[in-house]
A and B are shown apart, each in its own frame.
Chain A
Amino acid sequence: MSFSVRMIGKVGTRLRGSLQTLHCGFTRPHLATFLEQVHHRHAPLGSRRALLFSTLAPSSDLSLEYKHGRLVLEVPLPSRHEKCLFFLRPMLMNVGDLITDLQREDSGLTAAVLSKDGERVANSTLIEALLGKDFLLVINDVCYNVCPPEKVFATSEHARDIEDMKHVVHLLHTALHLPEHHLLRERQLLEKLDNLKQELTPLEKMKAQLSQTAEFHSSRVLWTGMALLSVQGGALAWLTWWVYSWDVMEPVTYFITYGTSIGIFAYYVLTKQDYVYPDAKDRQFLHYFYKGARKRRFDVERYNELKEELAEVEEDLRRLRNPTQLQLPLQTDPAKAINQT
């Protein structure tokens, strides 16, 4: 018997609580006393200090997500029973602006923003500060949980801590020691340059010789080609006009041309290279160069390595001597720039 009375009491409480939204003012004092009694007797079902109810409507999630790069909050408006999209500007809007917008949209609406612990958030807080964690949006005493999405654009502001101090110390160190370091590095690079050049000199000489002979050979190939063309021309011309007629010679010339095109395709098949004169000549040049290098025992690999290192060192030196790096005034005269360390 007492059990059913308690049940009726609970149901009645909840009914009256839900009725409060409709009868906003006048029944409150009676309900307040009744509720306080209920509080006293029964364990409150998840009550919050800031609210009058002993129970809360189950907190549903409001969607707050990025749509086309803009942050959108979807809010169900109580008096119109429909969802409304609010586009937020995290860096420019604060909580007060949001609440004003909500109220402007729906005049019977009272909104408040609470943190996850139930504490009220000030109106002057930027939305951006809210987006770090979940927060609660209370609309007409209905509590909604809002989960902000993963931050797409993070500001570069971060809490001042040990990392910042390290960075400042690093900057100071750089400012104090940079010119010395530059000079040291330049000396190192010049030494390295000297070493490389010394090692390269004999190799350069041999390479020059080999290049010359290879060039001579490949050039000879070209002139031989020229000669062969004139031989063919002379022979066919003689045969056409002095011996046989064109009617006899035409098929011959056609088949010679066709043979040439077979030869060009065969060149591609064998060398995987298009038959164009500059490339073909370079190919011959390389062929003769490597043949000569093998004969004279010239280490092409070593030569290539040294040349690459030399290029790197020269590039480093050039970068080092860049006027902005040395914090010197710009020089228009190259002679002066080289003389300065």
Chain B
Amino acid sequence: LETSKAFNFCYKTPFGLIRMTAVEVPFLYVGTLISKNFVALLEEHDIFVPEDDDDDD
């Protein structure tokens, strides 16, 4: 038997936006921390130092 209901097919994660921001922002910060440590590592072992590299004007 056919009924003319309007089915809602789009799946929505409950508290979607909140969860998304809760994941994104901290991990962005984690990314910056990683890169800071990485830069410190490079500078310590003298692999790549930005001031030295900018000397070709």
A residues bordering B, Cβ < 8 Å? 223, 226-228, 230-239, 243-244, 248, 334
- Are B20 and A231 in contact, with the CB atoms below 8 A? no
Main secondary structure of the interface of B (DSSP, over half): helix
- Residues of chain A contacted by B29 (CB below 8 angstroms): 234
- Are B31 and A234 in contact, with the CB atoms below 8 A? yes
- Are B30 and A231 in contact, with the CB atoms below 8 A? yes
Using known A-B contacts A237-B32, A238-B32, A248-B53, determine if residue A223 contacts B27 with beta carbons closer than 8 Å: no
Using known A-B contacts A223-B23, A227-B27, A231-B28, determine if residue A239 contacts B53 with beta carbons closer than 8 Å: no
How many residues does chain B have at the interface if contact means C-beta atoms less than 8 Å apart?
A: 18
- Are B31 and A230 in contact, with the CB atoms below 8 A? yes
Given A230-B28, A235-B35, A334-B1, 9 more A-B residue pairs with CB atoms under 8 Å apart are A226-B23, A230-B24, A231-B27, A231-B34, A234-B34, A236-B35, A238-B36, A243-B35, A248-B53
Main secondary structure of the interface of A (DSSP, over half): helix
- Give the CA-CA distance A244 to B32 in the complex, in Å: 13
Q: Which of B20, B35, B50 is close to A226, meaning CB atoms less than 8 Å apart?
A: B20
Is B41's beta carbon under 8 Å from chain A? no
- Residues of chain B contacted by A226 (CB below 8 angstroms): 20, 23-24
- Give the CA-CA distance A235 to B29 in the complex, in Å: 8
- Residues of chain A contacted by B32 (CB below 8 angstroms): 234-235, 237-238
- Are A234 and B23 in contact, with the CB atoms below 8 A? no
Selected A-B contacts with CB under 8 Å, 9 pairs: A227-B23, A228-B27, A233-B28, A234-B30, A234-B32, A238-B32, A238-B35, A243-B35, A248-B53
